[in-house]
A and B are shown apart, each in its own frame.
Chain A
C-alpha cells in the first residue's frame, strides 16, 4: 500500500483502484503490471477542468490508446421539462433560457416559435420583433462560438486564446445587458414577440462591436492557425465523416465540418432567414481542425447577419397586436433589471379598472393555447435545437421536450475517441462543444 497523498490505492473485487487527485501518475505507473494487466480503466470527471462542465467519461486504456470510451451524463439534470408543466406558457421562457446557458436566446426563440405555432399566430409576429430575434440570435451565436474557442484553446494548452475569447464575449454580454437587462438567462424572447424594444444606445454598441470584431478574429487566427502545437493537436484528430454524423444524429458545425452544408437557416428557414445573405461554411476533413475553421467562419457569417438585421430595423411594435397574448405590462429596464414600467403600473393602479383586470388575469392565469402538438427546430450554435410542445388547451404546457444538440451530439464521443490517444479525447470532446446545462436540462 502506498501512502501517497495524491494517489492512494486500495484493493477491490474488481481489481486495484487508484484515486488520483493531484495528477501524480507515477504511483499508477509503478503500481500496474504492464505484462499481465494491459488495460486500465480511468474515470475522468465529473469534476474535471477539461470536460466542459460536469461530464463524466469512463475510459478503458491500453497504454495511451483508448480502447473503449463511455460518457455519463445527468449530473446537471434540473427537471426543467417537468417544471414547465406547472407554470403558464409565458413563464416557460424563464425556464428554457436556463437550459443551454451559452445560447439562451436560442432556447427562448425555439420555445417562442413553438408556442406561436400552437397558437397559430406565426404570421402575426411583427417584422421588427423577428428582426430583433435574428439580431440577438446571431450575436448569441458569436458569443457561444467565442466561449468554444476560449475553452477549447485552454483545454489544448493555449491560455491566451482563453482570455481573448472571454474578453470579446464580454462585449456581447454588455450588449445583451443593455437590451435585456441581464447578461444571461434573459427571458427576452417571449411568445408573441420580444419583451421590449432595442434601445438606441444598444445599436451604437453593436455597430462598435461590428467594427472591432473582424480585427479580433484575425488576431485569433494569427495566434492559432499557424501554430504547430495547435495544428498537431487538431488536424486528423477525432475524425467523423458525414455517414457517421447522420447515423448518430450529429448536426451543426460538426456535421458541416465533415462537408455537408446542412444548416436549418438555409434548408428549413424560419424567422425570415431566407431573406438574408450569408454562406454556410463547410470543411472537407471532418476533424477538430475543420470544426475550428467552420466555427471561425460562422462567426464571420454571423457578423454579416447582425449587420443586415441592424440595417433592417424599422420602428414598429415588438409584440403581437392581440392584447390577450401580448404580455400586458409594458416592461422597462430599471436599476435592478427588467420589470413593469412605472407608467404601466400608474395606469392599471390609478386610471383603468379594465386594464387592471386584464393584467391580473393574464399575469396570474395566462393565455390558453389550443390543443395539439408541434415540433419546431432552429439552428443553434451546436446544431438542431428542436422543441416538441404539446398543449391540452389549457394555460400551461402539457409537455415540452427539448431536442438538445449537446445531448444528441455527445453520443458521438465514443466514435471519435476509441482507437485514438487519450489526449485526443479532450480535443474530440471539446470539438463537439457540449454544454451540460443543455444536455441534462
Chain B
C-alpha cells in the first residue's frame, strides 16, 4: 500500500500539492502569484501563441470605501457606530461594491456585532439570510472567510458581514444564539471549510459523511474524478483538463 498522499484524486484525502485549476486566479484582492502553466500536452507556459500572453493584467484591489457610501449604507454604519461602543475595534474595513455594503468584522467580535445588528431599533436585521464560507488561498494568512448576509425586513435592507480566520486557528464565535437559522449553515461551513464555530450546539458534518477526512471546498482540496470514455476517446476529469487562465 502506498500512503494516501501518493495517490492523487482518490477522494477524501487532501493533497499537499495544489491541484490544477484550484488556483485558477488568485483572490480578488491580490494579483495572482503564478498565472496558468498547467495543461495538457506537457505544456508549462500559458499555451498562448498569439503574443498577447505576456500581458500582465492589473487587478484593481477592492479598497475601503470612503464616505458618503450612498443609499442607506451611511445610516447603517452610523447606527451601528452609535449602538456598538467597540465599533472601531470590531470593524476592520467597510467596502461598498456593486451596490452592496460589506462590513469586515474581526472574527472574535462577530457574535456581538450580530446581536447589535439584530436588536438595535435603527438597524433591525431580523433575518440572517445566508452564512457561507469562502477560501482565499494564497491571499492572506487569514484565508478562510465567513460571509453573513443579514436582511432587515423592517427597513428592507441587506448588509454583508465578513470575518476572516486562518487555517491554523479557524475559530470564531457561533451566531446561533442570535440567529438560530445559522445552525445548519455554520455546520455546512465547518463541513466544507473546516471553520470552527465556538459555542455552536452541535458542530458536526452535515453534507459529507461523518467519517470524511478533509474539508472539500477548500481550494487546496482536489476536485477528484476519473477519466470517462466517450465514443472511443478518453475524456479527463475536469480538474486535469487544459485550463485557460
Report A's interface with B, CB cutoff 8 A: 73-74, 77, 79, 81-83, 85-87, 117-118, 120, 246-251, 260, 262, 267-268, 364-366, 371-375, 377, 384, 386, 388, 390-396, 398-399, 401, 403, 407-408, 410-411, 440-441
A74 and B244 form a contact (CB under 8 A): no
150-182 of chain B: CB within 8 A of chain A: 153, 156, 158, 160, 179-182
> Considering residues B130, B134, B147, which has the most beta carbons from chain A within 10 angstroms of its beta carbon?
B130
Write 18 A-B pairs (CB below 8 A) sorted by A numbering: A82-B217, A87-B238, A246-B127, A248-B181, A249-B128, A371-B60, A372-B97, A373-B97, A375-B130, A384-B129, A386-B149, A388-B130, A390-B134, A392-B25, A396-B25, A401-B130, A401-B134, A403-B129
Q: How large is the interface on B (under 10, 10 to 19, 20 to 34, 35 or more residues)?
A: 35 or more
Q: A395 CA to B27 CA in the complex, in Å?
A: 13
Complex Cα–Cα for A407 and B187 (A): 12
- Rounded to whole angstroms, the CA-CA distance of A440 and B26 in the bound complex is 28
Cβ contact within 8 Å between B134 and A117: no
Residues in chain A near residue B100, CB distance under 8 A:
373-375
Cα of A73 to Cα of B208 in the assembled complex, Å: 9
Which residue in chain A gives the minimum CB-CB distance to B32? A392
Residues of B within 8 A of A120 (CB): 98
Q: B115 at interface (Cβ–Cβ under 8 A)?
A: no
* B181 and A391 contacting across the interface, CB-CB below 8 Å: no
Q: Is the CB of A391 within 8 A of B28?
A: yes
Instruction: Report whether A73 and B181 are in contact in the complex, using a CB–CB cutoff of 8 Å.
Output: no
Distance of A81 Cα from B127 Cα, bound (Å): 24
Which secondary structure dominates where chain B touches chain A?
Answer: loop
A-B contacts besides A250-B181, A394-B24, A401-B134, 15 pairs, CB < 8 Å: A74-B209, A86-B238, A260-B153, A262-B153, A267-B156, A371-B62, A373-B28, A386-B130, A388-B130, A390-B134, A399-B132, A401-B130, A407-B184, A408-B184, A410-B184
The answer on a CB contact under 8 Å between A246 and B126 is yes
Give 3 nearest A-B pairs by CB, closest first. Answer: A249-B181, A371-B28, A394-B25
Q: How far is the CB of A282 from chain B (nearest CB, A)?
A: 14
Instruction: Kindly list chain B residues whose C-beta atoms are within 8 Å of the C-beta of A407.
Output: 184-185, 188
Q: How many A-B residue pairs have CB under 8 A?
A: 141
Q: Which of A79, A81, A246, A372 lies in contact with B98, CB distance below 8 A?
A: A372
Q: Does B14 touch A at the CB level, under 8 Å?
A: no
Q: Nearest-CB distance from A220 to chain B (Å)? A: 32
Residues of B at the A interface (CB closer than 8 Å) are: 21-22, 24-29, 57, 59-60, 62, 97-98, 100, 102, 126-130, 132-135, 147, 149, 153, 156, 158, 160, 179-185, 188, 192, 205-209, 216-217, 223, 238-239, 244-245
Q: What residues of chain A lie closer than 8 Å to B135, measured between beta carbons?
A: 399
Select from chain B the residue with minimum beta-carbon distance to A91: B238
**Contact call A411/B184, Cβ cutoff below 8 A:** yes
Contact residues in B for A375 (Cβ distance below 8 Å): 100, 129-130, 149, 158, 160
Tell whether, in the assembled complex, residue A246 and residue B24 are in contact, meaning their CB atoms are under 8 Å apart. Answer: no
A268 CA / B149 CA spacing, docked (Å): 15
A209 to chain B, nearest CB (A): 33
- Docked Cα-Cα span, A45 to B181, in Å, equals 24
A377 to B24, CA, bound (A): 27
Quote the shortest CB–CB distance from B199 to chain A (angstroms). Answer: 17
Q: Is the CB of A393 within 8 A of B59?
A: yes
A364 to B238, CA, bound (A): 13
Q: For B223, list chain A residues within 8 Å (CB).
A: 82-83, 85-86
